[in-house]
Structure 1
Amino acid sequence: MLQEASSKHGLAAGEQCTPQNPDWTIDQGWANYTAQEHAVWKTLFERQTKLLPSLACDEFLDGMAKLPIGAEGIPDFRRLSDVLRKHTGWEVVAVPGLVPDEVFFDHLANRRFPSGNFIRKPHELDYLEEPDVFHDVFGHVPMLMNPVMADYIQAYGQAGLRAQCLGKLPQLARVYWYTVEFGLVEQANGLRIYGAGIASSFTESKFSVQDLSPNRLGFNLERVMRTHYRIDDFQESYFVVKNIAELLELASIDFGPVYARLDSGPEYQPGDVLPADRVLHRGTGKYHLDRRQGG
């Protein structure tokens, strides 16, 4: 299973790597993982599970505890799916990496979560351009054990197919980014992580909740759909839901009127704070300012 460090996966690798199956699914090839690849999983798993009990939301920790996931090695998708189906009707399917949007949405709409079957190299522990099996499984799958998140992500898949037809995919993608990937939630013990992009990142887990630099703003759908995001670094702003159940409201929204309003009006930059925002923490912006100045 070990790949050259320069290799790309899935859609990023070009047409020559398109799988034969129209839905881009492949066999996970669990028996082919090398000892080195299992060791990378172990390193990532152990440091995140030491860190997250004080940073991740209750729903994430509960889901993790009920899944066949451990430090011993990369999980078998078949075993994960057996447990997921019993709880929320989801399953994990292996794909070679990034897949076309319509394929991704169709999987989600049918309660199939596509996960890359490859894992990052030892020198890529803290940053990877493409989502790998650690991001996809460790970051996403625990929250799929939660009925609210299970329904929300399925609804997002259904909405994505419609948004693609209407030419509104960039705006809808921002909702996924600021919730499923980089969302925070208010809980009795403070702000906690539920987004997979944060939960699977050692450095951003601490930055998102504890650092003074980023803004932490109350979630507002239209505000989020007008807001650009960072794909190359930590987020400048994190949007916070009051509880995970708030996501159910998004799952039942008719996006048609929202899309109509988005045809005009402003677009916001990642670090903007607006007068109408519910500001939980106004960030200093120091981290990104230092990065821009080369500090």
Structure 2
Amino acid sequence: MFDEGQLYAPVTADEDGKVTVHLADDHPGAKDPEYRRRREEIAAPALGWQPGDPEPRVDYTDGENEIWRTVCRELAPKHERLAIRGYLEGKEALGLPTDHVPQLDEVSAGLDPISGFRLHPAAGLVPLDQFYGSLADGVFHSTQYLRHPSQPLYTPEPDVIHEVLGHCNLLANPAIAQVKRYAGEAARRCETPEGLQVVADVFWFTIEFGVMYEDGELRAYGAGLLSSYGEIEEIRGADIRAVDFQQMATLAYDISHYQPILFACDGMSELTDRVASFFAEFDDETPARLAAS
């Protein structure tokens, strides 16, 4: 299990409306005042955004677009070797630009006719029930900031590269998008924090860090792997286990390192049938049933 809040730098606003992004001391941008200023500049409109408002647009700098280009260039051959077909098909269908950071409304315009999903801006951490529950409505909350330029191939927290290159290319595959909708519906049915946490933990080991056997080879389908230049290369050296929801719901793990244990679906059907059914049938009594089985 993990605390979702560990993944994001907290974002606050004072009485005067000044927005502050609280970067951890070991964050690559912690001692860079210009990066901190830029993070706050991007976060402020997202923090004040309300559904129905136009999505805030970011005038990305040449440096930010260069980070996007670098990651797209470096990840492309890794995706060809190590990503599942369903991701590659979604990536081709969505056709994200590789030379500049796309705006959220542009990504939504591409996703909506494919899977019905759209993006809402997030300044940082979205409450667990809201983030997962919104998936039931075809809404994915996405940050808009980029990682620090000193480490373009690494981020200690989800950024727009993780959200868009990782999750949105998956959402451009309707079958995978439906699994996410089921996860959202499961979250909506939860009446206890314990039940919601199990949904989050199974989501972590599947949609975020899932792998799959395809044509006899282990490939990645988790957004966290697909957006990580380094970790995607390490999947075949991990402790690979069969899908086990009880283990996923109770396994302790460290989000600050490459995941040493990964759970592998046996082909796409195990994801779109078995994992989808787990979320579709989930309720607050599911954890007790798993423990007793």
Give TM-score scaled by structure 1 length: 0.78
Give CA deviations for 1:157-186 in whole Å, capped at 9, x if unaligned.
221233353532332221011001100011
Contact 1:109 1:158 in 2 (8 A): yes
What is the Cα-based RMSD across aligned positions, in Å? 2.6
Indicate whether 1:215 and 2:239 are aligned: yes
Change (3 A) 1:245 1:108: same
Question: What is aligned with 2:201?
Answer: 174
Question: What is aligned with 1:13?
Answer: 11
- Give the 5 Å matches for 1:88-167: 88-163=115-190, 165-167=192-194
- Single out whichever of 44-53 and 224-233 deviates more from structure 2: 224-233
Aligned length in residues: 254
Give CA deviations for 1:226-264 in whole Å, capped at 9, x if unaligned.
212221101110000112332332232233442224678
**Helix, strand or coil: the match of 1:138?**
helix
**Helix, strand or coil: the match of 2:190?**
helix
- Give the 5 Å matches for 1:1-295: 12-16=10-14, 17=19, 19-21=47-49, 27-30=55-58, 32-163=59-190, 165-209=192-236, 211=237, 214-247=238-271, 248-261=276-289
Counterpart CA distance in 2 for 1:150 and 1:121 is 30
**Helix, strand or coil: the match of 1:255?**
coil
**Helix, strand or coil: the match of 1:180?**
helix
Give CA deviations for 1:87-117 in whole Å, capped at 9, x if unaligned.
1111122221221123212321210111101
Counterpart CA distance in 2 for 1:20 and 1:204 is 34
**Helix, strand or coil: the match of 2:120?**
strand
- Single out whichever of 186-195 and 159-168 deviates more from structure 2: 159-168
Counterpart CA distance in 2 for 1:225 and 1:10 is 22
Change (3 A) 1:114 1:231: same
- What is the CA distance between 1:33 and its match in structure 2? 0.8
Question: What is aligned with 1:277?
Answer: none
Contact 2:240 2:263 in 1 (8 A): yes
Identity %: 26
Counterpart CA distance in 2 for 1:262 and 1:24 is 40
- What is the CA distance between 1:76 and its match in structure 2? 2.4
Counterpart CA distance in 2 for 1:167 and 1:101 is 12
Give CA deviations for 1:27-58 in whole Å, capped at 9, x if unaligned.
3423x111110001000111001221010000
Contact 1:143 1:150 in 2 (8 A): yes
**Helix, strand or coil: the match of 1:74?**
coil
Letter in 2 for 1:149: I
- Single out whichever of 122-131 and 106-115 deviates more from structure 2: 122-131
- Single out whichever of 36-45 and 167-176 deviates more from structure 2: 167-176
Give TM-score scaled by structure 2 length: 0.78
Counterpart CA distance in 2 for 1:67 and 1:205 is 21
Question: What is aligned with 1:281?
Answer: none
If asked which structure has higher relative contact order (CA below 8 Å, sep 6+), I would say: 2
Letter in 2 for 1:193: A
Change (3 A) 1:35 1:135: same
- What is the CA distance between 1:79 and its match in structure 2? 2.4
